[in-house]
Amino acid sequence: MKTLNIAAALTLLAAPAFADGHAASGNGDAAAGEEQFNRQCVSCHVVADADGNVLAGRAAKTGPNLYAVPGRQIGSVDGFRYGDDIVELGEAGNVWTEESFVAYVQDPTGYLREALENRRARGKMSYQVREEQQAVDIYAYLASLSE
């Protein structure tokens, strides 16, 4: 657990630079990410800014609002009922980076088990993005919609 706390602290310190660097790094294709978001994510997620303007998706509420994901504390959207394990990960200081986002959307439960070092941890998100590049592209698209 000590290693996780150190990693969480380093992640917090690096999060703003990492999020900004990856949004413009060329790792992801925002246009391809928009297409993937519309295929894979809109049935559960919406991207709506602080004023309630819907930037992507429909008014889906199964999953949390994905606005301003890069650099945001994991499991922290007000009013959304997360599972205990993802909340624990966020409360330990972890934030969404390209790396954590891609790992999570490809295997939510596996990611939580590894990050928390807890074999019993479970993710509530049942859908998995199959291809890593698609997950990277979705992250780039979400970053393009963020402040």
Q: Which domains does the chain have, with CATH numbers?
A: 2-145 (1.10.760.10)
Structure tokens at 63: 């999953």
Sequence-distant (≥ 6) Cβ neighbours of residue 91 within 8 angstroms: 75
Average pLDDT, the chain: 85
How confident is the model at residue 14, as a pLDDT?
43
How confident is the model at residue 61, as a pLDDT?
78
Report the SS3 class of residue 1.
Answer: coil
Q: For the chain, list residues with pLDDT below 50.
A: 1-25
How confident is the model at residue 117, as a pLDDT?
96
Q: What tens digit of pLDDT does each residue of 5-34 get?
A: 444 444 444 433 333 333 344 589 999 999
Are 15 and 120 in contact by the 8 Å Cβ rule? The answer is: no
Structure tokens at 93: 């200081």
pTM for this one?
A: 0.80
How confident is the model at residue 26, as a pLDDT?
54
